[in-house]
Amino acid sequence: MTAKLCLLAFMLAVIARARVALLPGWVVPLPVLSLIAELAACVAFVAWLIHQARRESPHPVPWTPAAEAGQP
């Protein structure tokens, strides 16, 4: 079990220090890229949920009091 934890800690340290060259002269740490990807996925998911919620009832039925509906 200890060897697995040591290996996990080593891999996390390697990932934390890894850098990715996106454009010439622009190097970004790998954890920053993963954070940006996660935030973009969350924004896309929330936008999809909003789209689905609005699509369910595009024209809600207007409220009418019971007297206007013909009920006593």
In a domain, 16, yes or no: no
Helix (H, G, I), strand (E, B) or coil at 35: helix
Nearest 5°: CA angle at 32, between 23 and 38?
110
Counting the structural domains of the chain, the total is: 1
Domain extent for 37: 32-56
Report the alpha-carbon distance of residue 37 to residue 31 in Å, rounded.
Answer: 10
Cβ atoms of 52 and 44 within 8 Å: the answer is: no
Strand partners, 23: 26
Is the pTM higher than 0.85? The answer reads no
pLDDT band at residue 59 using 50, 70 and 90 as cut-offs = low
Q: What is the pLDDT of residue 49?
A: 92
Q: What is the pLDDT of residue 38?
A: 95
Nearest 5°: CA angle at 43, between 41 and 47?
115
Summarize pLDDT for 7-48 with one digit per residue, the tens.
999 988 888 888 888 888 888 888 888 899 999 999 999 999
Tokens of 38: 């996660």
In a domain, 8, yes or no: no
